[in-house]
Amino acid sequence: MATRSEILAKASALRALFEARGAMVVDPPILQPAETLLDLYGEDIRARAYVTSDALRGEQMLRPDYTVPVVQMHMTHGAKPARYTYAGEVFRRQEKDPTRANEYIQVGYEVFDDADPAAADAEVFASISQGLSGLPVAAVTGDIGILMAAVKGLDTSVPRKSALMRHIWRPRRFRALLDRYSGKTPVPAARSALLAGDGKIDAPLIGLRSAAEIQSRIQALREDAACGPLGAGQVELIQALLDIRETMHNAISQLRDIAVDLPAISDAVDRLALREKALTERGVDTENLMFEASFGRVSMEYYDGFVFGFRADARPDWPMIASGGRYDALTKRLGEGGEIPAVGGVMRPGLMLELEGANDH
């Protein structure tokens, strides 16, 4: 087990790697405003954030990662293009797995640049990969934007598309919705009885919802019930997309085949092809770089495009040694009218040292 001083030294060396690429060192406060930022994280991180409060500042949390605070800082004060790096503690509760650290050092690299998003993706991935050079790790990539484009292109109602978009990061719920919308899952008897009634609420109200809110929900359910089933062919196309686990080059070929019947994904697939070209120009072996269409669906909900991770070959039980992705929509949410394409990645120097030590034996 590496000592804290060894981890800090490793973190400093990694940060220097990104400084050499022109990144500015930033250090957002450990305490972050929970009310503003907590909803921007995925369900998993929200459940594991350390939250506190005081009378002056309201609800605060110990930062669970750096990306969201860095984006908020950049969208408030930063110029473009910009590159940032950082190294410091992040905090996450680990009530389900006591073997995982609830406080650890994170090092990161964030790029805000609208000149060439594919080149920026490749820059971040290649830089992180260089920092991991020599370690027994395997890289995997994905693209949340392709699945988002597929959902937007479905021949179904806007509310159904919105529900699927909300649950992209919850694979089981997403699948359950597909099954329900396609008619594969029968409508629960209680809901059928509710929809068959006159909609009047005779029972006493229980809970926080008003009668108007309940009536609105009943009306939404009726409109959904009147919507025709999602075609089996569309569901099969979504599943074929999600099943892709191939090298990046071969995955692009498979995605182009799917795009013939699901043209809504064509632009997103073109962006993936541009990214592959940019990665190749950076010296990345895309002929052997894995692409998994489902990758990234249980991580940060602010990713909306390219995603990547590096797994320890011999430790499948460990979290990612490094990970990252594109979060263009996050800059819009925090930009108060402004936005800029952005991509970044983070590394775990403590885990890297453990891998180095295992390699030495």
Helical ranges in 62-209 per DSSP H: 67-77, 117-131, 144-152, 158-166, 171-181, 189-196
- In terms of Cα–Cα distance, which of 275, 349, 356, 259 is closest to 4? 349
Q: Write down the mean pLDDT value for the chain.
A: 88
**Quick check: 199 pLDDT over 60?**
no
Sequence-distant (≥ 6) Cβ neighbours of residue 352 within 8 angstroms:
10, 132, 135, 321
**pLDDT given at position 66:** 92
Cβ 325 vs Cβ 90: under 8 Å? no
Checking DSSP bridges between strand 290-292 and strand 137-143, what pairing results, if any?
parallel
| Segment among 117-121, 123-127, 181-185 with least mean pLDDT | 181-185
- In terms of Cα–Cα distance, which of 10, 34, 2, 3 is closest to 106? 10
User: Which CATH number does 1-136+341-361 carry?
Assistant: 3.30.930.10
Instruction: Read off the pLDDT band of 77 (50, 70, 90).
Output: confident
Averaged pLDDT for residues 330-350: 91
Q: How many residues does the chain have?
A: 361
Averaged pLDDT for residues 138-145: 96
Higher pLDDT, 188 or 199: 188
Structure token pair of residue 262:
């699901």
Structure token pair of residue 109:
């690299």
Higher pLDDT, 342 or 199: 342
Averaged pLDDT for residues 314-336: 91
Which residue ranges does the chain devote to CATH 3.30.930.10? 1-136+341-361
Averaged pLDDT for residues 23-42: 84
3-class state of residue 147 by DSSP? helix
Higher pLDDT, 91 or 187: 91
pLDDT digits (tens, 9 = 90+) for 273-286: 999 999 999 999 99
Backbone angles phi, psi at 309, to 5 degrees: -155, 160
Higher pLDDT, 12 or 229: 12
| Segment among 44-53, 89-98, 216-225, 341-350 with least mean pLDDT | 216-225
**Quick check: 249 pLDDT over 80?**
yes
- In terms of Cα–Cα distance, which of 82, 55, 59, 87 is closest to 71? 82
**pLDDT given at position 57:** 82
3 state SS for 297-350: CCCCCCCCCEEEEEEECCCCCCCCCEEEEECHHHHHHHCCCCCCCEEEEEECHH
Q: How many CA atoms lie within 13 A of 333 on its CB side?
A: 17
Cβ 326 vs Cβ 307: under 8 Å? yes
**pLDDT given at position 44:** 67
pLDDT digits (tens, 9 = 90+) for 155-168: 999 999 999 999 99
